[in-house]
Chain A
Amino acid sequence: MKKIQAFLFSQKIAPYVFILPFIVSLSFFWIYPMYSTINMSFHNIGNGYSEYIGLANYEKLLGDKVFHIAVRNSVIYTIFTLIILIPIPMLCAFLLNSKSVVGKRIYKSIIYLPALVSVVVAGILFRYMFSEMDTGLMNQILNFFGLESKQWLKNWGTGMFALLLLATWRWTGVNTLYFEAGLSSIDEVLYESAKVDGANAWQRFWHITLPLLKPTRIYVTTISIYAGLAMFLESFMIYGSNNSPKNIGLTIVGYLYRRGIEKNDLGYASAVGLVLLIVALSISMVYLVSSGMFKKEAK
Chain B
Amino acid sequence: MNQWLDERLHISRLNDKFLRKAFPVHHSFFLGEITLFSLIILILTGILLALAYEPSNSLVTNSFDPGTSDKPNLIPAAYHSALKINAMPFGDMLRRIHHWTANIMVAAAVIHMMRIYFTGAFKKPREINWWIGMLLLIFTALTAVTGYVLPYDNYAYQTLKVIYGIAASVPWVGEWVAQAAFAGKFPGAGVIPRIYGYHIMLLPGILLALTGAHMLLMIKQKHTQPQYAKRIAYKKIVGVPLSTQQTPIMLLLAIMFAAIIVLFSAFIPVHPIEHYGPPSTTPINNIKPDWYLLWVFGALAIIPSFEVHLFGGLIGAEFVGAIVVPTLFLLAMFAVPMLDRSKDNMYYAENPTNHPVRLAAGVAFMAAMIVMSVAGYKPELISAGILNTANANTILWILLFLIPAVCYFGVLGIVRGIRTLREADQRERGAFSPADD
**A is bound by B:** no
**Interface of B toward A, CB cutoff 8 Å:** none
